[in-house]
Amino acid sequence: MLRLEGARYSDRRGEVEVPFADPAFREAAGRGMFAVQQTILTRSRLGAVRGVHYTATPPGTGKLVHCVAGQVLDIAVDLRTDSPTFGQWDAFEVSGDDTAALYIPVGVGHLWIALSDGATLHYLLSAPYRAELERAVHPADPDLGLPLPPEAERLLSERDANAPTLREAAAAGLLPDRAASARAERATESASR
């Protein structure tokens, strides 16, 4: 996951926020941004846990996310089976007061936890959402050891509550590898030229 710092401009009328600009993405990622195929806005209640979600690869989906309101803990999990960082995760706490945007590349799972009521994330996606291609790994998988709220305070969807563990998903051949993920990333970059 890449954290991209945006900019904020203020005057007596208010503020203008720029959470994403292609030059910053190019500098951080070493390549151009994907062509945006869809945007999604999610609002959640305190304790909502969304993820660990990913898209079957191919085609895979890259995501750029920005917290518009409230506060979230945003977590990326490397799901690429042959990656040296397979199963490892990185987390950032972001809020509506932040100008940061987070990039979750193809092959990396995404989870976020609402740390406040009305926590709102805006996603830019490299491919349209297609339910039949969406996958999940159980967020409470002890092998991942993610920093989740206590079970009694967690709000999970039925899909996430019934998702396989990382080991089960790997054994079933549901997880991507680095080569397929890299090909999908290159395909989104060429689509943006």
Distances in Å between the alpha carbon of 57 and those of 81, 161, 165? 12, 22, 18
Who contacts 13 (Cβ-Cβ below 8 Å, separation ≥6)? none
Pairing of strands 134-136, 71-78: unpaired
Distances in Å between the alpha carbon of 130 and those of 9, 125, 176? 36, 12, 17
Residue type, 77: V
Active-site entry in 54, 103, 110, 123: 123
Q: In three state form, how does the secondary structure of 21-40 look?
A: CHHHHHHHHCCCCCCCCEEE
Who contacts 178 (Cβ-Cβ below 8 Å, separation ≥6)? 80, 82, 83, 107
Residue 149 CB neighbours (<10 A)? 16
Q: Is 129 tagged catalytic?
A: no
Active-site entry in 53, 66, 110, 138: 53
Q: Is 53 tagged catalytic?
A: yes
Task: List, by residue number, the catalytic residues.
Answer: 53, 123
